[in-house]
Structures are given as C-alpha cells and as structure tokens.
Amino acid sequence: MTQPKVLARQRANRIRRLNGVDVAILAFLFSFFIIVLYPFYNAVLVSLVSQADYIRERFMLYPKRITIESYFIVFMNGTIFDGLKVTTIVTLVGTAYSMLLTVTLAYAFTKKFHGKRFFLAMIIFTMYFSGGLIPFYLLIKDLGLVDNIFSMILPAGISIMYMTVLRRQFESLPAELEESAKIDGASEYTILFRIILPLSIPIIVTFALYYAVDRWNEWFNGMLFIRSFDKRPLQLVLRGIIQTTGNQLYTSDLMMYEIVPFSDGIKMACVVVTMTPIIIVYPFLQKYFVSGLTIGAVKG
C-alpha cells in the first residue's frame, strides 16, 4: 500500500473514533477561534471601506467595494515615516538593552554571594512600589534626556517578572554543565553566552518578543518627554493623525483628491499599520513558543 493511502486510512480512522465529547471540544475551539480572529478581520475590513458603505451595512462579512482612502490619509502625512523610524530604533535598541540587563542580572542571581537575599528583595520591591511620576520626571530631566529618544529606552530597563522566570530557568539547568566548563577554564561570560543561553533559546526569544512588543507600543514616555515632532514614536504620530481627522484644515487638504475622511476607517487603518509588523514577525518565532512549553523538563 502506498504512503498516501496509508495516511488517508489513518485520517479516516481518527475521524471515525471521534465521539460526542470530541465534537463538542472541536466546536468550542472553532468558536473561540472565530471570536479571537474576528476583531482583527473587522479592523482590516473597516479600514478598506468607505464611510457610506460602513453606514449602510455596519456588519459586513466582506467588503463590497474596496477603497484605500483611509490608508492614503494615514500615509500622506510624512510624519508617519519619522514615527516609524523612531519606533524601529526604540524597539531594536531597547529590546537588546533590556535583554542584556535581564539575562546578566538573572544569571548573577543564580550565584551565591553575600547579601543576595537583600538585593533580590530590593529588586522585587520595585515591582510593587515606585517613586511616583513627579520624581520620575525630575530624574529624566536631571539626566538631560528630555526630548531625547533614549528617554523611551533607558528608564524601562528590566521587567522583574521576566528576570525572575529567567533566573529559575537558569537554575533548572544541570549544574554539571557549568562545573565542566569551569574545569576547562571557561570564564563566567563564556559559560553564560556559550552554554547557558543556547540551552535557553525558547524562553530567551519569548521574552525578547515581549520586550519588542512593549517597545513597539511605547507612547507614554514619548508623551511625557518628547517635544520635537520628528522624535515622536509611531503611536503618538498615529494618535495625532486620528485627532486631526475632523479638522477642517486637514480636510481641505484632501478636497483636491475628493476624499472625505472616514474617522472609524482611519482609526482602523492606524491599528492595522501598528500591528502588522508584529504579526509578520510572530510566525517566524512561533516554534520557540511551542518549545518553551517544555522548559523545566530537564532534571539537574
């Protein structure tokens, strides 16, 4: 019997073995999939229709007439490219900066040293209490980071939760690996970057993506400290586009193209522009999320 026929028979046998409970679970999962997927689909749908079509038929399964007017309004403003450049820099530099601090701090707290419990308690203390907004602003001002893109990178250095999980992961690795490396003369940096990290790739990539998403969505520090329009992150630029949609002066700039701004369409176009890069990156990292489910299975 050929291989395709064997596979077809196996699939048929699995289908015949389905009972009522299996069907109910599949129906629930499919319904949950639709509930999760539809908001994304609806955002794309609204961004591709005109205001007249949207008013005529609020609940649409597919666009009867596609228009890119909302995207034209979003991209006709040149500031979106400045925002995209700033956000890309903040995401790349900020993610590398945060991962370096998180990895090195987590590895340091796997060692035994005097005062370890005290310093760890002080670090975890910052998860629950902060100095407040005014001292934070005064600190950034005294550091000379006002109207500087590093005000969106340096303050949010480490997630204590990520560091704690990563520390537990490092501690779960067999101690014999580190002992063997030390016998061979390896330094702490060699052990960390050539032994520990390669064995922790799934969780490293997972936290790197979390940091990247946080940096990509950065807007709060930008709103507080950025003054120059060409240094605003993408989120603030898109917010400004949405706010000026109803402005008569902004509308008059579109009269030559016979475009009437559609507020909801522009909002959804901004959402699509914001989430598209992350959606493109995620499938390439999905396998690491699956591998991350088995973290901790190695016994020391």
pLDDT tens track for 163-215: 998 998 898 888 888 888 888 888 888 888 888 998 888 889 889 988 999 99
Question: Is 263 found in the same domain as 180?
Answer: no
**Which pair of tokens denotes residue 214?**
């946080």
Residue 299: the pLDDT is 41
Question: Is 174 found in the same domain as 148?
Answer: yes
- 219, 233 Cβ separation under 8 angstroms: yes
Q: Is 296 left (phi over 0), alpha (psi -120 to 50) or beta?
A: left
Task: Specify the number of domains making up the chain.
Answer: 2
Question: Is 182 found in the same domain as 48?
Answer: no
Question: Is 251 found in the same domain as 156?
Answer: no
Q: CA 60 to CA 166: how far, in whole Å?
A: 45
- 265, 204 Cβ separation under 8 angstroms: no
Q: Does position 296 have pLDDT exceeding 50, yes or no?
A: no
Question: Is 172 found in the same domain as 153?
Answer: yes
Q: CA 269 to CA 29: how far, in whole Å?
A: 29
Q: CA 274 to CA 280: how far, in whole Å?
A: 11
Work out the average pLDDT over 232-242.
Answer: 85
Residue 101: the pLDDT is 94
Question: Is 256 found in the same domain as 110?
Answer: no
- 220, 138 Cβ separation under 8 angstroms: no
With respect to residue 297, please indicate whether it lies within any of the assigned structural domains: no
Q: Does position 220 have pLDDT exceeding 70, yes or no?
A: yes
Question: Is 215 found in the same domain as 86?
Answer: yes
With respect to residue 144, please indicate whether it lies within any of the assigned structural domains: yes
- 52, 115 Cβ separation under 8 angstroms: no
Residue 300: the pLDDT is 39
Question: Is 190 found in the same domain as 156?
Answer: yes
Model pLDDT for residues 27-38, shown as the tens digit of each residue: 898 999 888 888
Question: Is 164 found in the same domain as 38?
Answer: no
> In percent, how much of the chain has pLDDT > 70?
83
Question: Is 104 found in the same domain as 35?
Answer: no
Work out the average pLDDT over 155-160.
Answer: 88
Which domain, by its residues, includes 264?
A: 16-77+244-276
- Structure-derived torsion over alpha carbons of residues 253, 254, 255, 256, reported in degrees to the nearest 10: 90
Q: CA 23 to CA 52: how far, in whole Å?
A: 42
Q: Does position 96 have pLDDT exceeding 90, yes or no?
A: yes
Of 59, 65, 231, the C-alpha closest to 149 is 231
Question: Is 85 found in the same domain as 214?
Answer: yes
With respect to residue 69, please indicate whether it lies within any of the assigned structural domains: yes
Predicted TM-score (pTM) of the model is 0.78
221: domain CATH number is 1.10.3720.10
SS3 assignment for 96-160: HHHHHHHHHHHHHCCCCCCCHHHHHHHHHHCCCCCCCHHHHHHHHHHCCCCCCHHHHCCCCCCCH
With respect to residue 101, please indicate whether it lies within any of the assigned structural domains: yes
Question: Is 189 found in the same domain as 136?
Answer: yes
With respect to residue 4, please indicate whether it lies within any of the assigned structural domains: no
The single residue listed with the structure tokens 């807007």 is 219
Model pLDDT for residues 51-93, shown as the tens digit of each residue: 888 888 777 778 888 888 888 888 877 788 888 899 999 999 9
Q: Does position 218 have pLDDT exceeding 80, yes or no?
A: yes
Confidence of residue 248 (pLDDT cuts 50, 70, 90): very low
